[in-house]
Amino acid sequence: MSTALAQTAPEFTLPGVDGSDHSLGDYGDAAALVVVQTCNHCPWAQAWEGRLIEIARDYADRGVSVVAISSNDATNHPEDSFDEMAKRAQAKGYTFDYLYDESQEVARTLGSQRTPEVFLYDGDRKLVYHGAIDDNRDEHAVTAHYLRDALDAVLAGDEPAVAATEPIGCTVKWSR
């Protein structure tokens, strides 16, 4: 694992594809905050994209904020550029903020390794779950709903039964 449980969410201010800058404080009222390291081009991130949209939609009325962050080097992966992020968010109907970490500072602070990779913070912004969204790239073969189960636990005032899983996906594309 790349980051420690109970660690505090990192401060950030990043541009969103909605044309606004977003910071950690913008989500201060959220009962839980899901930060997902992702990108456009990774087939693993694409495989979980629909489920992430559903999770954001299903938990929005329960006080959960979902934030997707792309930190990939767009020079070598132009499909992960800010402009392409905005196009994808529009085309897919993202129901969450999609932010660009061009400096890769947030990814480094999180210790991100994969896309997609989930960091779930409770109301005090302590990390309570880190890892995969669920246990299978194929949405029809999922048997363990890690993020949903962790969210349900946090919203009930409990600790997730599974607090860490191995994130599965492409590596973060670091700039040189």
Q: What is the pLDDT of residue 119?
A: 98
What is the residue-averaged pLDDT of the chain? 96
The count of other CB atoms within 10 Å of the CB of residue 171 is 11
What is the identity of the amino acid at 49? E
* Region 61-87 average pLDDT: 97
Q: pLDDT tens for residues 99-154?
A: 999 999 999 999 999 999 999 999 999 999 999 999 999 999 999 999 999 999 99
Q: Is the pLDDT confidence value at 95 over 50?
A: yes
For the chain, which residues make up each domain, given as ranges?
A: 13-171
Q: Is the pLDDT confidence value at 1 over 50?
A: no
pTM given for the model: 0.96
Top CATH class, 13-171: alpha beta
Distances (CA, A) of 117 to 19, 83, 90, 156: 24, 22, 22, 23
Q: pLDDT tens for residues 146-158?
A: 999 999 999 999 9
